[in-house]
């Protein structure tokens, strides 16, 4: 096993090659949620690009329910509110990131006032696009549900009708050695997922879909180096 001190630059980006069942884009292979963030500032044009990616996300009735409260370390009051709203286990590593964003979503449709059943779904999707854009720019995103939404609501004067959903950290990944010891192992552990067979069905609930039996070159697992 590689020791922390032997980690190379490539290990920062991808600690272990993914155990994929089919070929996927490198941006997705490299995307992950690190805890070791460099203090390096994010270029303003890159920040704008992340937000633009979220802006072009699809949403139910094109409602675009997402709202983002964006704080770099220069926005010291808001940055402090966001770090203080995090649970201790998240705050420890997230406060080093150069950018924190509170993501909120609208609870009802603007036109009808009826409950917006897909609101959280649409917000999540916008952050997914933002995360892939981040991956393309060499940045990483780590979303956190572990924060006090009511505290954030009060201290940031969030109006009724909007729900704080996650805080996410954005920045350049750093060496795992910059983390407290107990987090270093998690940082370099291989990312894992359920198998496709566990959640893709066609003929019967719980039975792996026959579409997964395809033997195409696309399904040849990529090499593991
Ligand atoms: C809605 C949501 C909430 C999350 N909350 C936390 C959190 O509070 N703390 C944390 O360390 N990671 C959190 N994560 C990150 C997940 O643990 C992470 O995405 C998952 O383990 C998969 O790892 P990967 O993103 O590197 O593939 C959250 C992710 C999402 C999407």
What is the number of the ligand 1 atom nearest to the C-alpha of 142?
15
Q: How many angstroms separate the alpha carbon of residue 144 from the centre of ligand 1?
A: 6
Reported as a single tens digit per residue, the pLDDT across 83-94 is 999 999 999 999
CATH number, position 129: 3.40.109.10
Tell me whether residue 90 is in a domain.
yes
Neighbours of 62 (CB within 10 A): 7
Q: Return d(Cα 190, Cα 177) in angstroms, integer.
A: 17
- With tokens 């009724």, the residue in question is 160
Q: What burial letters (b/e) apply to 5-43, b meaning 16+ CB within 10 Å?
A: eebeeebbbbbeebeeeeeeeeeebebbebbbbbeeebe
Tell me whether residue 96 is in a domain.
yes
Tell me whether residue 140 is in a domain.
yes
Reported as a single tens digit per residue, the pLDDT across 22-66 is 989 999 999 999 999 999 999 999 999 999 999 999 999 999 999
Q: How many angstroms separate the alpha carbon of residue 14 from the centre of ligand 1?
A: 16
What is the per-residue pLDDT for 6? 39
pTM, two decimals, is 0.91
Tell me whether residue 197 is in a domain.
no
Q: Is 10 a residue whose pLDDT tops 90?
A: no
Tell me whether residue 6 is in a domain.
no
115 confidence band (pLDDT: 50, 70, 90): very high
SS3 annotation, the chain: CCCHHHCCHHHHHCCCCCCCCCCCCHHHHHCCCCCCECCCCCCHHHHHHHHHHHHCCCCHHHCCCEEEEEEECCCHHHHHHHHHHECHHHHHHHCCCCEEEEEEEECECCCCCCECCCHHHHHHHHHHHHHHHHHHCCCEEEEECCECHHHHHHHCCCCCCEEEEEEEEEECECCHHHCCHHHHHHHHCCCCCCCHHHCCECCCCCCECHHHHCCCHHHCCCCCC
Tell me whether residue 77 is in a domain.
yes
What is the per-residue pLDDT for 205? 98
Q: How many angstroms separate the alpha carbon of residue 186 from the centre of ligand 1?
A: 12
Tell me whether residue 199 is in a domain.
no
Lining ligand 1 with CB less than 6 A are 32-33, 90, 143-146, 166, 191
Nearest CA to ligand 1 atom 6: 144
101 confidence band (pLDDT: 50, 70, 90): very high
Residues in CB range of 43: below 8 A, 6 or more apart: none
Q: Is 219 a residue whose pLDDT tops 80?
A: no
Tell me whether residue 161 is in a domain.
yes
Tell whether the torsion through CA atoms of 93, 137, 51 and 32 is positive or negative.
negative
Total number of domains in the chain: 1
Q: Return d(Cα 175, Cα 222) in angstroms, integer.
A: 26
Reported as a single tens digit per residue, the pLDDT across 157-212 is 999 999 999 999 999 999 999 999 999 999 999 999 999 999 999 999 999 999 99
What is the per-residue pLDDT for 99? 98
221 confidence band (pLDDT: 50, 70, 90): low
Q: How many angstroms separate the alpha carbon of residue 142 from the centre of ligand 1?
A: 6
Structural domain including 91 reads 23-177
Reported as a single tens digit per residue, the pLDDT across 117-147 is 999 999 999 999 999 999 999 999 999 999 9
What is the per-residue pLDDT for 49? 98
What is the per-residue pLDDT for 19? 85
Nearest CA to ligand 1 atom 19: 33
Q: Is 15 a residue whose pLDDT tops 90?
A: no
Tokens of 96: 């080093």
């Amino acid at each position: 096993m590689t020791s922390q001190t032997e980690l190379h630059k490539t290990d920062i980006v991808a600690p272990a090659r993914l155990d994929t069942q089919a070929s996927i884009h490198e941006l997705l292979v490299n995307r992950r949620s690190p805890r070791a963030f460099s203090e390096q500032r994010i270029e303003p044009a890159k920040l704008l690009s992340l937000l633009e990616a979220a802006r072009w996300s699809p949403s139910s009735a094109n409602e675009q329910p997402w709202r983002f409260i964006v704080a770099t370390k220069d926005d010291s009051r808001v940055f402090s509110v966001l770090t203080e709203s995090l649970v201790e286990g998240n705050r420890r590593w997230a406060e080093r990131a150069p950018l924190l964003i509170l993501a909120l979503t609208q609870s009802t449709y603007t036109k009808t006032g009826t409950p917006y059943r897909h609101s959280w779904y649409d917000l999540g999707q916008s952050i997914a696009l933002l995360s892939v854009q981040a991956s393309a720019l060499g940045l990483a995103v780590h979303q956190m549900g572990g924060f006090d939404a009511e505290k954030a609501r009060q201290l940031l004067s969030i109006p009724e009708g909007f729900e704080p959903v996650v805080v996410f950290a954005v920045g350049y990944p750093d060496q795992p050695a910059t983390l407290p010891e107990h987090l270093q192992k998690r940082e370099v552990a291989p990312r894992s997922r359920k198998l496709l067979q566990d959640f893709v069905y066609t003929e019967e609930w719980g039975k792996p879909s026959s579409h997964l039996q395809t033997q195409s070159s696309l399904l040849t697992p990529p090499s593991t180096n």
